[in-house]
Structure 1
Amino acid sequence: MVLEKRNQLARHHHTERAWRLSTHDEIRRKEMKWILNAFVAVFLVLGAHNANAGAGHYHGPVNEHQASKIAESIVHNMARQGSLPTSWGQTPIGSLGKTSLDGNTVWQARFSNAEETNAEKRKMNVYLSLTGGFIKAEYATK
């Protein structure tokens, strides 16, 4: 009888201890989940400023001065990277105006390079969106 009672107590103690451990683990799991969620939320809040516009990034339309600077930097960078002959590296913008391209109003920058030996490649047009984004650059046929 004493042995049976002892076994009963041992089983009860074991199940109670197991219940306490599983409850403790569940509480720890919930705490860790809360901490992880809080960490992710803080990380997202602190990283949200990167979603805003940075330097050189425009949300609205660019003015004529900004468009000319962007177009010049595109041509000069293309010359520096080898996409164009080096003589284009110092070529200033000839004219700038708005035109229609594929049904959209865009900035058209015209460049003329007298140092270019190939007559078909002396004039170049650079097209920018109204917000200053590069669309394309091509040699002018006219």
Structure 2
Amino acid sequence: MADGWKEVVERSRLVPPPRQTVRLAVESHFTQSQGFQLSLSRLTAAHLPQEVSEGEQNVNYQLRVTLFDRNHQQFFGKTWKSRPQRMKNNKISFNEVLYFHTSLRLPSTVVVLELVSLSPRPDGSQHALGRGFTLLELFTNRPEAQAADGDRR
């Protein structure tokens, strides 16, 4: 039973989508689960300073990926986090492949990719600071923009 609390915490970390979104997906027959593969290789971060000031020598960078419902302005699901990486010549190499799926196949469902800097604190914890983000649209109302099976976007 000592390990039971870990399972409860992990299950509780999942944020469910708003009920209205689930109802809309069911009514629209968009509830069949859709799988995705997201390949993350290298990020060019020209907007970040290259000069390392005192105390910032140990800064690492991490990508975080979360599903977001634009209609309800709410994140849902679990946030995926890459391994922390260092920046070299304005570039950060991640070389990771992320697999995920969602049954909420609505145009309002997007993927948010966020770049976060991680700086060590004196107490051993890390200070996370958002450095930028982008949105990836997964679904659309336009039939001509729907990706065929196996298409890459």
What TM-score comes out, normalization by structure 1 length? 0.28
Higher Rg: 1
Give the structure with the higher percent helix.
1
Give the structure with the higher percent strand.
2
